[in-house]
Structure 1
Amino acid sequence: MMAGSTDVLICGAGAAGLTMAIDLARRGVRFVLIDKLPSSFQGSRGKGIQPRTQEIFEDLGILDRAMAAGGIYPTVRRYTADGSHVDQEVVNTSNPTPAEPYHLPLMVPQYKTEAVMRERLIELGHSPEYGVELTRIAVGTHGIEAVLSTPNGERILHARYLVGADGGRSFVRSALGIGFPGRTLGVRAIVADVVLEGLSRDRWHQFNGEAGPMAICPLAGTTLFQIQAPVPLEGDIDLSAAALTERVAQQTGRADIIVQSVAWSSLYTMGARLADRYRNGPAFLVGDAAHVHPPTGGQGLNTSVQDAYNLGWKLAAVLAGAPDTLLDTYEAERRPLAADVLDLSTRLLEGFKNGDNRRPREAQQLDIGYPSSPLSCVGRYPAGKLAPGARAPDALVQGAAGSPTRLFMLFKGTHWTLLVNGPSRVAPRAGLHIHSIGPGLEMEDQLGHFAQFYGLHEQASALIRPDGYLAGTFAKDELAALQDHLEQYCCHQAGVFPGQ
């Protein structure tokens, strides 16, 4: 039996597992990424990329590719029983701002999103191992011992940490004995990616006839449509092209919509569940392994990506010497947000049943923050406009050499960032990028955006975490508090930094 070792074993190569792998790869952390499926997922179960996730994709170096692979959401066209219709926008359209550069959800079929992520991972020197199944876990003092079933036989792998990104039926969660309480929502549904004729591709078509509701959405970046519809709670469901054509005719009242072929389909029961805990010693849950909820609002894939984005840098830091307590902040920060997402998705499901497709601002996930996190350092008095734990806004600034740039470009990479309103008095250190902003300094705030969004007092500073959240603002006489925070949590880096 083969044996080996690594720092992190990631079980599940969907969006959450791939995000974790990309983040660890660019930090030089050793990891193994496995998936029991024989090849990559080919469906479009999750197709919405929210604005906050777009910001994360920009940091990971895949946003432009993701945008090129998809498109914006079409207007919803709601049909009534008499054949008339009314159009409704999914979101309230608004222009991007310097603080929030992405304001519209992006539609990218899940299989295309994951293909973009795999491409980025390959650039960083790694790829998933498909057809490899985790069958046993032994948790020890110094990590885990995993037994893997591979096409070449059993393999034992020792890992410092295990990340369960293996979906709603997570083997990792079950093997760790972590409860997954919640409820089913009394809705069983089909989703299918199909080639069809009879509908235009410039609208998301929604019908609500006597046979029940049905949504048929053109999938951006493809020639496919996605069919979604509730079905009876019991009984077999035929998802062939002929059967879907018949179902479409029953639920739309139209005989001119013909399903020609089915690329992928799934039958599922909607539920809302949240894991009792996200950590068991050296093992962690991310994504659907930690929480499942209805697909309404496009929250699932996004919350999963952000779980991994939160945990990745912390694992790398602890492997490089940061205190293990840093890993406790993962559950403290992410689990309460998952509970909020469950509430939001369930509310939106009720609205969808009543023909309301509008998505509130909270669906964009731009207002997510961690104000009560142990990583959020509150000074003696406010040194700026932003509260610790808030998302750090973008802003347009200009370098001393004359080139315009954005704060997000300064944040991009694996490092912490310190923005100083005036000359910096902080000594340089590995893993920390310090930028002095002001007249005649490295960066100038010619448009006033930095002052407007951050509102830092003179010679105050804002410390930005690697995941783009504000660790704290520090007044000019709080240099010791800033140094303490840096010593405790910041600048523990593993290996080399190919993504920096």
Structure 2
Amino acid sequence: MFTESGFTIIAGAGPTGLTLARQLSRHGVPYRIVEKSPRPFDGSRGKGLQPRTLEVLDDLGLIERFLAAGGDYPELLAHLPGGGTHRFHLDEPHEPTPAVPWPNMLMLPQWRTSELLADGVPVEFGTGLTGLTPIDGGLRVTLDTGETVDARWVVGADGGRSTVRKLAGIGFEGETHEQERLFIADVRLTGLDRDHWHVWPGEGRSFRLGLCPLPGDGWFQLTAPPSPLSPAELVAAVDSSITVTEVGWTSEYRANMRMASRFRAGHVLLAGDAAHVHSPAGGQGLNTGIQDAYNLGWKIATGSSAILDTYEEERLPVAAAVLGISTRLHRLHAEGADDAMRRDDPVLRQLSLNYRGASLAVERRPQPGPVRAGDRAPDAPLAGDRLFDRLRGPRFTLLAFDWTGPLPTLPVPVHHVSEAAEIYGTAGPTLLLIRPDNYVGCATHDVADIVAYLGRIGL
């Protein structure tokens, strides 16, 4: 027996799967989250959280814990082959604004991101998914424990080698550059300050070694071209005064840029690396996966197959654009471009990603302002609090700007926020309906448009 929204199986307990679990939980959707690995991931891997992801974490009620655990990206210190040093930033620090409270990327090793997201989430470790069989209204899921479970929805958040994607027969298009590899390791060491991200260039424009201090308990993330040398030998080769005292997680990254041909196949949905894999350049992959889950969770909760169709409609183009950005940055690295390390393109912060033109972005104003249907809802100072405080939670919210006329009884909270009109660029009496993922769903001067939109959602 399915609930109205539908019991969901989430395969994969990385940041994407855990974010989805949290979304489903607060919408009251029953789920199980299974993870084939016997224990939580323990490496640094994706270590940057973009400003838009920080806003997602704020909405989930986790931002203070993440800010306390993470830190700013340090200044880079290049140790030049001929002696001397060169200091620079990936991106110059940005000051918070009323519309963007967290304008800078937060550094946090991936294991810690997962740990914070997993707090209170009942992950079933050591449990993999081996089979999917269609049944009336859903899927029969076979687990590697021998158990079978009937679910309305199965979400593959199980990484680039996704079992769910393969069982669903969804193609994974793109390319792998076998010759372009990078060795990554988490190390502890002595003899090096933790105030800088240390980089040793090679001859010409080549890269030799990087040591980035990670927030927390003394680890550095080591990056280097593949080599038969151990991490200790790699470090000693650039500076014999530095001593590696411990080696943790290690991995070898292959340049792999791919995207699923579909994000939905019947009762199967894909999110995160199962749907798209990126170069680590630009810190986009983990963040895009978290935002996949943020988009998907409330749509599963509606119980509407038509609404779930908009998940692919909205997220596939975004993933394709992000994949293009990270691939371009990867090529700059591979070609040894002078500006290969720069990360000052505002698009990387993911605040400008939008769903304009999609079917759930209804813009009814003859002269839209700068914030339109399909755009992220920016923050704004209000009397006694912030707009984000009023948007927080698993619901639609109606914002009324300079609205003096009557409003019918609506199944959503209504906030009169005329003091935010300048940030939102509204002109005259205006209504903006904000979705549970804090994007503008409907923008209008006519309350009938809001009523019609809510009816379509099933509210």
TM superposition score category, shorter chain reference: over 0.9
Task: Please list the CA deviations of residues 61-95 of structure 1 after superposition, one character each: whole Å capped at 9, or x if unmatched.
Answer: 11110111111100011122112111111112221
Structure 1 spans left out of the alignment, 5+ residues: 399-403, 439-444, 492-500
Q: For 1:284, what is the secondary structure of its paired residue?
A: strand
Are the structure 2 counterparts of residues 106 and 212 from structure 1 closer, same or farther at C-alpha, using a change threshold of 3 Å? Answer: closer
Runs of 4+ in structure 1 off by over 4 angstroms are: 3-6
TM-score (norm 2): 0.94
1:456 counterpart residue number: 426
- Contact 1:72-1:107 at 8 Å conserved across structures: yes
Task: Please list the CA deviations of residues 350-396 of structure 1 after superposition, one character each: whole Å capped at 9, or x if unmatched.
Answer: 33443532111111101010002100102151354422101111100
Distance across 2 between alignment mates of 1:424 and 1:349: 53
User: 1:58-457 counterparts in 2 under 5 A?
Assistant: 58-119=58-119, 122=120, 126-150=121-145, 154-185=146-177, 186-210=179-203, 212-231=207-226, 237=228, 243-250=230-237, 252=238, 254-318=239-303, 323-352=304-333, 353-354=336-337, 356=339, 357-359=341-343, 360-379=345-364, 381-382=366-367, 384-398=369-383, 404-421=384-401, 422-423=403-404, 425-430=406-411, 432-438=412-418, 445=419, 450-457=420-427
- Contact 1:7-1:160 at 8 Å conserved across structures: yes
Aligned residues: CA RMSD: 1.9
TM-score (norm 1): 0.86
What residue identity is the alignment partner of 1:455? G
2:443 counterpart residue number: 473
Task: Please list the CA deviations of residues 6-34 of structure 1 after superposition, one character each: whole Å capped at 9, or x if unmatched.
Answer: 70000000000000000100111100000
Distance across 2 between alignment mates of 1:424 and 1:109: 50
Task: Please list the CA deviations of residues 278-312 of structure 1 after superposition, one character each: whole Å capped at 9, or x if unmatched.
Answer: 00001100000000011111111100100000000
What residue identity is the alignment partner of 2:36? K
What residue identity is the alignment partner of 1:484? A
Q: For 1:231, what is the secondary structure of its paired residue?
A: coil
Distance across 2 between alignment mates of 1:212 and 1:49: 24
Task: Please list the CA deviations of residues 424-475 of structure 1 after superposition, one character each: whole Å capped at 9, or x if unmatched.
Answer: 6333343x1111235xxxxxx2xxxx12122323332111111011112111
CA deviation after TM superposition for structure 1 residue 270, in Å: 1.6
Distance across 2 between alignment mates of 1:419 and 1:114: 33
- Contact 1:196-1:259 at 8 Å conserved across structures: yes
What residue identity is the alignment partner of 1:227? L
Are the structure 2 counterparts of residues 338 and 309 from structure 1 closer, same or farther at C-alpha, using a change threshold of 3 Å? Answer: same
CA deviation after TM superposition for structure 1 residue 341, in Å: 1.2
Distance across 2 between alignment mates of 1:198 and 1:377: 58
Structure 2 spans left out of the alignment, 5+ residues: none
- Contact 2:442-2:453 at 8 Å conserved across structures: no
Q: For 1:456, what is the secondary structure of its paired residue?
A: coil
Structure 1 position 488 matched with structure 2 position 456: yes
- Contact 1:17-1:165 at 8 Å conserved across structures: yes
> How many pairs does the alignment contain?
449
What residue identity is the alignment partner of 1:217? C
Are the structure 2 counterparts of residues 53 and 380 from structure 1 closer, same or farther at C-alpha, using a change threshold of 3 Å? Answer: closer
Distance across 1 between alignment mates of 2:197 and 2:368: 47
Distance across 1 between alignment mates of 2:379 and 2:156: 32
